Structure 1
Amino acid sequence: MNVFNNLSTLIFLPLLGAILLLFVPNNIRLIRQIGLISALLAFIHSLFFWVRFDNSTAHFQFVEQMNWLPSSNIQLYIGIDGISLFFILLTTFLIPICMLAGWSSIQNYRREFMIAFLVLEALMIAVFCMLDLLLFYVFFESVLIPMFLIIGVWGSRERKIRAAYQFFLYTLFGSVFMLLGILFLFFQTGTTDIQILYTTEFSERRQILLWLAFFASFAVKVPMVPVHIWLPEAHVEAPTAGSVILAGILLKLGTYGFLRFSIPMFPDATLYFTPLIFTLSVIAIVYTSCTTLRQVDLKKIIAYSSVAHMNFVTIGLFSLNPQGIEGSLMLMLSHGFVSSALFLCVGVLYDRHHTRLVRYYGGLANTMPVFCAIFLFFTLANMSLPGTSSFVGEFLILVGAFQSNTFVATLAATGMVLGAAYSLWLYNRVAFGNLKPHFLATYSDCNRREFFMFLPFVIVVIWMGIYPQIFLDTMHDSVMHCIEHSRI
């Protein structure tokens, strides 16, 4: 078989880079180059799967199987469809950007920094490829380990250890219930193959209990109110690269889990709990948007806005129609690009001024015009300006939500108004107002590395906003297949 068609090759490529880094001399330039080249090779390899992907079928493609526990009928079973393809591409796209973000700001344990991100990349690709429920759980939880180290070791403030433990314990505690649910499914059906579980019917009572077990894990990852407290803390304490990967990929694991498992496997329970999801999501959108307005830390502002956007996604997923689900996937991808770029903008400011408090900034348009133009573009994208990727996602979600529940869609739309309020107010305070010459005048605009770090984000956000059809065509059959499996 052609090596470029192997998903296992894509998973092991970053791991090979991490292993190679263990044995190279302690040369900073060489370590950076090997880490970046390994990540770029993984990204280029992932593009082959998009080029070779067949949009006309909803079945899993590039499937590979290998016995892991033959006596228990558990296999290492991987494959991708139109839903998981773009999350793999997003992962391989963001990891090289994370390495560039820490190119000069990371001064300690640089070898270990590169290794942590390469291992994290391999684990996240495995999560989105995995078609066995038990092994999905294994990789789903393994992602916590490198992320815990990234926050705890390379965080920027004194509370980083506390934030790392908070992140780890919150997400691990919720996932214990999912493990119990997986064990119950295994003893009931004798398999953890999700394609078999899709066709297995459970009683309504069992569906409700299993749905709640999976919900406990996925809701923390989204995160939904009231289990969202760990996210702002983790973002504030994490290094810039950690915030990028946390917002870009890790927040998508919960919503991906809802779409891959909860909705198609437990359709009756999904219908039963849809009002609960709608209620929690609307509360989160309004509450976190209002909370964002009163934050004074740049990272907390973007972190709270991420909670609002991800709860917008859950409304689209549980509208249970093609427009809502496809809109949710588009918004997840868009948020992965836009929110990551905003955290990179904060990182650019922090590298120069070593503070994230808004009150220390003002008049940046006079000293950093290129940066302010880039920051303005992503601020407008964050508030879903037409022509950007976020608008496509939010519009389709509202279309789907109106078909499902007009009242919920109306309340959710207020989040767009509040999003415009906190986004524009933040930009106004940073870019305009009184220049503080004693603090800002001596620092330069974006350098070449930073400019070319932002350029891919600008291109993709505009591409998704102007021509989303290429993305929607790829995911459409898989979304319809998911809805058919759910028998809704």
Structure 2
Amino acid sequence: MSCLLLTLLLLPLVGSGLVFAWKSHSSKYLALGIALIQMLLTFYVLSDFDFTPTVDSVLQHEINYPWSQFMKSSLHFGIDGMSMLLLLLTNILMPIIILSSFNENINYRNTFYGLILLMQFGLVGVFTSLDGLLFYIFWEVTLIPIWFIAGLWGQENKRFEFTTKFFVYTFVGSLFMLAGLIYVYNHSASFSLTDLYNAQLNETQQTIVFWFIFFAFAVKLPVFPFHTWQPDTYTYSPTQGSMLLSGIMLKMAIYGVIRYLLAITPIPIAGISGQIVIILAIVGIVHGALIAIIQTDMKRIIAYSSFSHVGLMVAGIFSSAVITLRGNLNIEGGEGALVQTFAHGINVVGLFYCCDILYKRFKSRDIRQMGGLAKVAPKFAVLFLIILLGSMGVPLTNGFVGEFILLKSVYDFNGTAAVIAGLTVILCAVYLLRFYGKAMFGQGDEAVLSTVKDLSGVEFSVLASLAIFVIVLGILPQPIIEMVNSSLKFIYQSMVN
């Protein structure tokens, strides 16, 4: 049994209980301390991580303990390259998200921070589970705290409307996934991931399972046309809720598609179902970008931007899968999606925090009511620009490499699809530069600008930390690619075996 992985899994849960019980104003410091310890522990696991395992033995720090003979399920956890990357993303962003709230006047602080740590527990469980039932349980665990965070600390007059829609979409999607996993389980030896991969399903059965499980992932990502819950939820949630949803939570679905869907349902992916998903993803890329261009609410701009970027990840994953199933092993789409997953998590958290900073200065989310901030807040202008360039995929920023690999993967599948998907690069520059130009260089109200100060210590610390990742990962993306290579080869090869 791996004590390191067990500690990674349980520390957020124990920490959450401590913070819930901590009635003091200093609960935020306790939560930050626990998140920092979790981050340092993750880096320690990374320092001991084998970047070049054999394709047949990609798991490290494995735990496997039977817990339900009746359901043929076990407490099976492990870390491979894909899990390691998403653990890094989760445990790097959590202390940053907690720190970003330090200037906020938050009611029921201990409950708020306790829920964040509880969500971290669920996320670690999702990214390390190697048992289908266990994966579903942790998937549901993450839904509970984010629903409370969005509902209790969200915008007052929209609270019931958007949280109900969010809950219904995600809960119904989860039930479809559970039904799909149970169906596969009934045709396999157990809920073990290996047994699920080896389930004996014909084409019709695989197609049913594919759409049941994909529906849950499509809602969480989201993929067109299952995205209608997203703009309102991202817009009216508190800043930290928007960060958790967009920066980490949607990555569960990217992980789930690669880890569970590809190898369990290869036949429909090779056929019409896989092509339908690619078409829906590309429609979402263009649809999200075009709607972002006409938005004036800055949080909605970022919400639709995220929707558009996720579409490219999905298109890349399925393009590589179809090419592989046609007889040519191709993991480029998976590599690009995971590189972009990490980059998108960093960038979107930074963008939502920039929206929060702008809202505090201008008391509005409408970009038409902003302007002139660059001359009174130069530090903010520079850090905002770095994160913005990363989101646009400018060379030497973290968003470039993943986006390039994804477009290459889509091109290998279909040239026309790649041209349409490539519009995301141009359209993203249009809406993000419009946003930045209005806020930083537009005609601002001099009376408002005279009272505006540059970044506080907390704000500078958060944005500078994220900006460093934008630059470093743009210059040195190779470690991420090497980290996930063996895991992806194992999964993509499992599709054709």
TM-score normalized by the length of structure 2: 0.95
Quote the residue 2:265 is aligned against. 266
1:199–1:485: 8 Å Cα contact kept in structure 2? no
Q: Counterpart of 1:394? A: 403
2:284 is the alignment partner of 1:284:
yes
Residue 49 of structure 1 corresponds to which residue in structure 2? 45
Q: Equivalent residue for 2:355?
A: 346
% of aligned pairs identical?
33
Instruction: Report the equivalent of 2:314.
Output: 314
Query: Offset of 1:36 from its aligned partner?
Result: 0.6
Q: Does 1:32 align with 2:12?
A: no
Q: Measure how far apart 1:136 and its partner are.
A: 0.5
- Counting only pairs closer than 5 Å after superposition, residues 140-289 of structure 1 correspond to structure 2 as 140-272=139-271, 273-289=273-289
Distance 1:385 1:324 in 2: 19
SS in 2 for 1:75: strand
1:288-437 map, 5 Å = 288-320=288-320, 321-437=330-446
Which amino acid in structure 2 is aligned with residue 293 of structure 1?
A: I
Letter of the 1:323 counterpart: E
Q: Quick one: distance in 1 between partners of 2:378 and 2:156?
A: 29
Deviates more, 1:302-311 or 1:237-246: 237-246
The alignment status of 1:131 with 2:130, answered yes or no, reads yes
Give the drift of 1:104.
2.1
Q: Give the structure 2 partner of residue 483 of structure 1.
A: 492
Q: In 2, Cα distance between the equivalents of 1:178 and 1:18?
A: 27
CA–CA separation in structure 2 for the residues paired with 1:39 and 1:139: 19
State the partner residue of 1:13. Answer: 11
Q: Is the Cα–Cα contact under 8 Å of residues 224 and 280 in structure 1 kept in the other structure?
A: yes
Range with greater deviation from structure 2 (339-348 or 155-164):
155-164
In 2, the alpha carbon distance for the partners of 1:22 and 1:474 equals 36
State the one-letter code of the partner of 1:44: L
RMSD: 1.4
Deviation of the 1:308 alpha carbon: 0.3
Contact 2:269 2:275 in 1 (8 A): no
Task: Mark the CA change 1:143 to 1:22 in structure 2 (over 3 Å): closer, same or farther.
Answer: closer
Secondary structure at the residue paired with 2:77?
A: strand
Q: TM-score, normalised by structure 1?
A: 0.97
1:97 matched to which residue of 2? Answer: 96
| Deviation, structure 1 residue 49 | 1.8
Deviation at 1:107, TM superposition (A): 2.5
| Preserved CA contact (<8 Å) 1:148 1:165 | no
**CA offsets 1:353-377 (integer angstroms, 9 cap, x no match):** 3321112101111221111111111
Letter in 1 for 2:221: V
1:319-363, Cα deviation, whole Å (9 max, x unpaired): 122222101111111100001100011111223333211121011
For residue 64 of structure 1, give the secondary structure of its aligned residue in structure 2. Answer: strand
* Residue of structure 1 in register with 2:323 after alignment: none
Amino acid at match of 1:288: G
The answer as to whether partners of 2:221 and 2:253 remain within 8 angstroms in 1 is yes
Distance 2:123 2:291 in 1: 31
Structure 2 SS opposite 1:131: coil
Contact residue 102 and residue 458 of structure 2 kept, 8 A? no
SS for the counterpart of 1:192 is coil
- SS of equivalent to 2:70: helix
Deviation at 1:164, TM superposition (A): 1.4
SS in 2 for 1:311: helix
Point out 4+ residue stretches in structure 1 off by more than 6 angstroms.
none
Q: CA deviation at 1:2?
A: 6.9
Shift of 1:452: 1.1
Structure 2: any 5+ residue segments left out of the alignment? 321-329
3-state SS in 2 of match to 1:394: helix
**What's the CA shift for 1:469?**
0.9
Question: Mind listing any 5+ residue stretches in structure 1 that lack a counterpart?
Answer: none
8 Å contact from structure 1 (residues 98, 242) kept in 2: no
Deviation at 1:190?
3.5
Residues 102-125 of structure 1: per-residue CA shift (max 9 Å, x gap): 112132111111101010001100
For 2:442 and 2:102, how far apart are their aligned partners in 1? 32
Residue pair 1:319, 1:325 contacting (<8 A) in 2 also: no
Amino acid at match of 1:99: I
SS in 1 for 2:157: coil
Q: CA deviation at 1:21?
A: 2.1
d(CA) in 2 for partners of 1:322 and 1:390? 19
Which residue is 2:452 aligned to?
A: 443
Post-superposition offset of 1:135:
1.2
Deviations 1:375-425 (A, max 9, x none): 111111111100011110010111111111111111100111111111111
Partner-residue secondary structure (3-state), 1:319: helix
